[in-house]
Amino acid sequence: MPRRGQVGDRLCLVLMLALVMLAPLFRSGKPPLAMALLGVLAIVGLAWVLLRGRAWGVGRGMAGLLFGLLLLPLLQWLPVPGLGRDLLPGQSDYYTAVALAGANDGAVSLSVVPRDTLLGGLLLLLPLGVFVMAQALSHRQLRLVVRFVFGMAIVQAVIGLMQFGGGPQSPLYLGMEYSHFGSAVGTYTSRNNYVGFMYLVLMLSLAMFITTLGRRNRAFPGRKPGLRARLAYWATSDGHLAFFFGALSLLLLLAVVFSRSRAGIGMAMIGIVLITVLLSRRIGGGNVFGLVGRVTAIGLALAIAIGLGPVLDRFSAHDPIADGRWTIFAGVLDGIRQFFPLGSGTGSFVNTFPAFQDVSQAMFLVNRAHNSYLEWMFTGGVFAMVLIAGFLVVYARRWGTVWKRGDWGEFRYLQVGAGLGLLLMGLHELVDYNLFVRHSGGLENPTKSALFEERSYTAFRIGWGEGGPQDEGWYPWWSGTIRLR
C-alpha cells in the first residue's frame, strides 16, 4: 500500500500531466470554462504542495519575487478609504469623467479598472501553481512530464502540418475561424501560441538529440570506437533514441515553418544556432566527435539558420501592422509616463490604452501592446519594473548553477534546453504577447456572461500577422458558447 507521501507526489504528477494535456486541447485555455478548469487544477496542486510543507527548491530571492508578483494586483485592487482619483498619477481625467457623469465608483483603488485587476491577479494562480508543482516533483517525475510534453508536441505538430496541407477550409481546424488563415495552429487559437510551444519543445528535443548522438558504447570505456562500432551504434538503444529525437526535431521545425509566424521562425533560427554552439563540445555526452564534429555541427546549424531566411519570406504570413507596431509603442510609452510610478492597474490595458491610441489606428482595437515588457510597465508602473529586473537577474544567476564542468547527465541537457527555450520566449515577448492569458467575465458568473461580455466590438484585432473579427478565439467547440470581445 503506497504511503501518504507517495500519494501526494503522485497527485502532483497527475495534475501536471492533466495540465500539459488539457491546456493545448481546450483551445489553449481560452474559453471561460476551460480556463476555470485549468485554474482549479493548478490551485489544487498549489494548495497541496504548500499545505504539506513540501520543500520546493526555491531560494529566498525567487520566493520574494513570486510573492511580489501576487501581491502587486492585490494592492492595486484593494480600495483605499479617503483616496481620490484626482490624487493618483494619470487618473485625474478619469476622476473628471466620473464626476461629470454623476457616477460614484465607491472607494477608490490604485487601479483604474479594479475588476480587471482582480481577475488578472486570480489568473496568476495558474502559472504559479504549475511552477510550484514542477519544483516539488523529483527529477524522475519531471522526466516523465517531459516525455508527455514530447508526445503532446508530436500530436500538435502532426495536426498543424495536416491543417496546412488541407488549406484554409480543412476540417482539422475544428471550427476555428479568423485565427489561422491557412497556417498550422494545431488545437491552439493563435499561431503565435502554437509556434511558441513548438520552439520550446524543439530546444528540449535538440538537447536530447545532442546528448544521445554518438554516445559511446559502455562496452568500450575509455577509448573511441572504430567505424564498425559507429555503424553498429545505430542498432543500439542510444542510436534509436538519437534517431527519434533527430526526427522529432525535424518535425517540430517543419511545424514552426508552416505556422507562418515571422517571430516564431526567427526564434527557431536563433535557438538552433545557440543550442548547437553551446553544446557542440558535449555531443554524445562528451566531445565524442572531436574538433571536426564540433565545427561540423556549428556549420550545419548556421546553414540551417541561413537556409530558413528565404523560407521566412516565403511561408510567413504578411503582418498588417509591421509599421503600426511602432506607433503602438509610442502610445504605450506615453501611458507609462502618465501613470508613473503606480501604473494603470494589472489587466487594465485594453480599457485604458484607447486614451493614448494614435488616431491613425482608430479603426482598430489595440488589445495588447505587442511588447509584454512595455505593457507590464504600463499597468504595473515601477513595481513591474522591479519585478522584471528581479526575474531577469534570477534567470541569469540560474545559468551559473546549471552550467557546470565535468560530465553531464541527461537531465542537465534538458535544463539547458529549457533555459534556451525561456530565452527565446522572452525575446518573442518583445514583439508579441504569448505569455498573456485574457481574463473574461466567465470567471465571475459563467451562466450570465458566457454568452456575451459587456463590450461587443466589430473592430479588428491587431496581432502579429493576424487580423479578424473579435469573436476569434471563442468557439462553441468546448464551452458551448460564442464570446464577443
Query: Does a structural domain hold residue 347?
Result: no
Among the residue ranges 90-94, 113-117, 414-418, the one predicted with the least confidence is: 90-94
Query: Does a structural domain hold residue 378?
Result: no
Please give the single-letter amino acid code of residue 133: M
pLDDT at 469: 34
In terms of phi and psi (left: phi > 0; alpha: psi -120 to 50; beta: otherwise), the region of 409 is: beta
pLDDT at 402: 86
Contact between residue 458 and residue 469 where contact means Cβ atoms under 8 Å apart: yes
pLDDT at 223: 52
SS3 call for 234: coil
What band does 152 get if pLDDT is binned at 50, 70 and 90? Answer: very high
Contact between residue 29 and residue 478 where contact means Cβ atoms under 8 Å apart: no
Its pTM stands at 0.81
Residue listed under C-alpha cell 495588447: 368
- For residue 479, pLDDT over 60 is answered with no
- For residue 445, pLDDT over 50 is answered with no
Query: Does a structural domain hold residue 349?
Result: no
Please give the single-letter amino acid code of residue 345: G
By DSSP bridging, strand 460-461 and strand 364-365 are parallel
- For residue 453, pLDDT over 50 is answered with no
Query: Does a structural domain hold residue 316?
Result: yes
Average confidence (pLDDT) over 287-298: 72
End-to-end CA distance of the chain: 51
Of 175 and 275, which is predicted with more confidence?
A: 275
Query: Does a structural domain hold residue 218?
Result: yes
Give CA–CA dist 254/252, Å, rounded: 5
What band does 4 get if pLDDT is binned at 50, 70 and 90? Answer: low
Among the residue ranges 279-288, 334-343, 382-391, 464-473, the one predicted with the least confidence is: 464-473
Q: Which of 76-90, 94-108, 228-242, 244-258 has the highest mean pLDDT?
A: 244-258
Contact between residue 179 and residue 189 where contact means Cβ atoms under 8 Å apart: yes
pLDDT at 454: 31
Query: Does a structural domain hold residue 484?
Result: no
Query: Does a structural domain hold residue 137?
Result: yes
- For residue 448, pLDDT over 50 is answered with no
pLDDT at 226: 60
pLDDT at 23: 82
201: nearest Cα among 250, 141, 136: 250
131: nearest Cα among 60, 73, 58: 58
Among the residue ranges 101-115, 124-138, 192-206, the one predicted with the least confidence is: 101-115
- For residue 329, pLDDT over 80 is answered with yes
What band does 388 get if pLDDT is binned at 50, 70 and 90? Answer: very high
Query: Does a structural domain hold residue 16?
Result: yes
pLDDT at 126: 87
What band does 433 get if pLDDT is binned at 50, 70 and 90? Answer: confident
pLDDT at 182: 75
pLDDT, mean over the chain: 76
Of 287 and 422, which is predicted with more confidence?
A: 422
pLDDT at 446: 29
- For residue 157, pLDDT over 90 is answered with yes
Contact between residue 187 and residue 24 where contact means Cβ atoms under 8 Å apart: yes
15: domain range?
4-320+387-434
pLDDT at 158: 93
163 CB neighbour count, 10 Å cutoff: 25
User: Tell me: the pLDDT tens digits for 308-324?
Assistant: 777 766 655 555 455 57
Contact between residue 265 and residue 197 where contact means Cβ atoms under 8 Å apart: no
- For residue 103, pLDDT over 80 is answered with no
The number of domains in the chain is: 1
Percent of the chain with pLDDT over 90: 20
